[in-house]
């Protein structure tokens, strides 16, 4: 038996080899780019020479809005990041970055050329450059980050990695389109609705309170339960200031009212066992998601078709609005799966519950006017469960995280 165990250890992956989940993430990022670029897959015949000529003809960068430019960069960022991280660290860093950048460039050129043969899609070289820049940026970031993610230690545990990913999703949702402005008039436009026409609703305040409470719980897993008491205040101040300086963002009176309430709610939840506090957050977050999807409940006897094609609604309409809506869904659904896993459920159970709930509400949306009822939300929830499992290995790691017995340990205990 000892000899057999030794042979198994000898055949294990080298420390220079990345975890298999990184390769899976790279394949998913590539598949998503191909799917989003070639949708709705209604190809028509044509000449490759004519396609290249069409693509070269439409390359005016000034026609690209800031929101579209940033969206194209962000679209290829995961490809470059995971392509670099998926390569062996035995290779020189410059070679890994070059391979990722070249792959991003070639994939973007292939997708733009293919779009010429798809009805309703616009092919242009204007999208190729920001796509390549996004892949290069992701590759450069992966060089110092990938090694850190694979290191073991209490400050780099899978639990902290999962919470950090969810916090990045939150920032992606709240700070879109990530383009700061130095124009004072833009700052005034961000504050003007709150100053001149202040409006607040109980539902909006409640939704912000719940969202910030979830952020506080994530900060607790990243930095420790005691530190989260003041980190949540810093996070609130940073995000609020960020919304003022980023173009096309507006401050909401409802959110400002919700900030102190969220701080007090988090202090209250701190007196409970971590599992109970998380269960309470999971309950109110589930109610918030249901409310966002079904309210106002203007039921109609007639129904509109259910969309079985994933991400169909995101391919149409405003790129800026659709990107922000997708980021919001990713954060809310992933956070709900994470909270349910902390309470004791397996990832597959938590993901199945959230996916089924979203599917049921999507079916109900077929009777609500102005709603896009489709399978996309259920797929996002299932994908979130798989991604969190890849990061942490199992939901047991969440339940056994340092400081898991109480949200805030007593004074006799120190930070885990």
Of residues 213 and 228, more confidently modeled:
213
Identify the band that residue 9 occupies on the pLDDT scale cut at 50, 70 and 90: very low
CA pseudo-torsion sign 269, 273, 278, 284: negative
Which pair of tokens denotes residue 230? 């003041």
In what helix (H) or strand (E) does residue 259 lie, and over which residues does it extend?
Answer: helix 253-269
Query: What pLDDT, on the 0 to 100 scale, is given for residue 354?
Result: 96
* DSSP per-residue codes, 125-166: GGGHHHHHHHHHHHHHHHHHHHHHHH--SGGG-HHHHHHHHH
- Rounded to whole angstroms, how far apart are CA atoms 413 and 416? 9
Which 3 state secondary structure label does DSSP give 207?
Answer: helix
Assess contact for 416 and 154: CB atoms under 8 A: yes
HSE of 215, CA atoms in CB hemisphere, 13 A: 24
Tokens found for residue 53: 């000529």
Residue 304's pLDDT band (cuts 50, 70, 90): confident
Structure tokens at 356: 């089924």
Q: Residue 412: what pLDDT?
A: 34
- pLDDT for 54 equals 66
User: What pLDDT band is residue 16 in, cutting at 50, 70 and 90?
Assistant: low
Residue 405 has pLDDT above 60, yes or no: no
The predicted structure's pLDDT at residue 396: 63
Q: Mean pLDDT lowest for which of 147-156, 279-288, 326-335?
A: 147-156
Contacts for 218-221 with beta carbons within 8 Å, 24 or more apart? 218/163, 218/166, 218/167, 218/170, 218/335, 218/338, 219/163, 219/167, 220/403, 220/407, 221/159, 221/160, 221/162, 221/163, 221/398, 221/401
User: Is residue 178's pLDDT more than 80?
Assistant: no
- The per-residue pLDDT for 14 is 53
The structure tokens listed for 397 are: 């790691």
Confidence of residue 211 (pLDDT cuts 50, 70, 90): very high
Chain mean position to CA 300: 33
**What does the pLDDT average to over 60-69?**
59
Of 223 and 336, the one with more pLDDT: 336
Mean pLDDT score, 230-251: 84
3-state SS of 242-254 is: HHHHECCCCCCHH
How high does pLDDT run on average in the chain?
80
């Amino acid at each position: 038996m000892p000899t057999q165990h030794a042979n198994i250890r000898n055949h294990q992956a080298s420390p220079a080899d990345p975890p298999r989940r990184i390769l899976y993430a790279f394949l998913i990022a590539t598949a998503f780019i191909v799917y989003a670029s070639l949708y709705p897959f209604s190809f028509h015949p044509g000449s490759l020479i004519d396609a290249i000529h069409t693509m070269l003809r439409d390359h005016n960068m000034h026609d690209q809005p800031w929101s579209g430019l940033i969206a194209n960069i962000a679209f290829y960022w995961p490809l470059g990041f995971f392509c670099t991280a998926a390569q062996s660290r035995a290779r020189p860093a410059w070679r890994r970055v070059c391979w990722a950048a070249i792959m991003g460039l070639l994939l973007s050129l292939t997708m733009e050329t293919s779009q010429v043969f798809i009805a309703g899609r616009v092919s242009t070289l204007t999208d190729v450059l920001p796509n390549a820049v996004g892949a290069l940026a992701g590759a450069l970031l992966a060089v110092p980050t990938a090694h850190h993610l694979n290191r073991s230690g209490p400050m780099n545990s899978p639990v902290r990695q999962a919470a950090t990913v969810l916090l990045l999703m939150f920032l992606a949702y709240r700070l879109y389109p990530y383009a700061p402005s130095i124009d004072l008039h833009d700052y005034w436009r961000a504050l003007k609705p709150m100053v001149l026409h202040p409006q607040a609703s109980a539902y909006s305040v409640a939704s912000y309170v719940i969202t910030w409470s979830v952020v506080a719980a994530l900060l607790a897993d990243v930095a420790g339960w005691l530190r989260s008491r003041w980190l949540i205040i810093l996070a609130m101040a940073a995000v609020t200031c960020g919304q003022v300086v980023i173009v096309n963002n507006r401050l909401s009176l409802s959110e400002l009212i919700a900030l102190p309430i969220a701080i007090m709610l988090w202090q209250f939840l701190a007196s409970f066992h971590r599992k109970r506090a998380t269960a309470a957050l999971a309950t109110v977050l589930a109610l918030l998601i249901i409310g966002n999807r079904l309210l106002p409940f203007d039921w109609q006897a007639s129904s509109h078709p259910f969309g079985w094609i994933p991400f169909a609604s995101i391919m149409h309409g405003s790129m800026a609005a659709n990107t922000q809506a997708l980021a919001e869904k990713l954060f809310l659904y992933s956070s709900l799966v994470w909270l349910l896993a902390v309470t004791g459920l397996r990832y597959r159970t938590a993901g199945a519950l959230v996916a089924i709930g979203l599917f049921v509400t999507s079916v109900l949306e077929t009777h609500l006017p102005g709603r896009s009822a489709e399978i996309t939300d259920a797929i996002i929830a299932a994908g979130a469960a798989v991604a969190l499992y890849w990061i942490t290995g199992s939901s047991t790691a969440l339940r056994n995280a340092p400081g898991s017995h109480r949200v805030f340990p007593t004074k006799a205990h120190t930070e885990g």
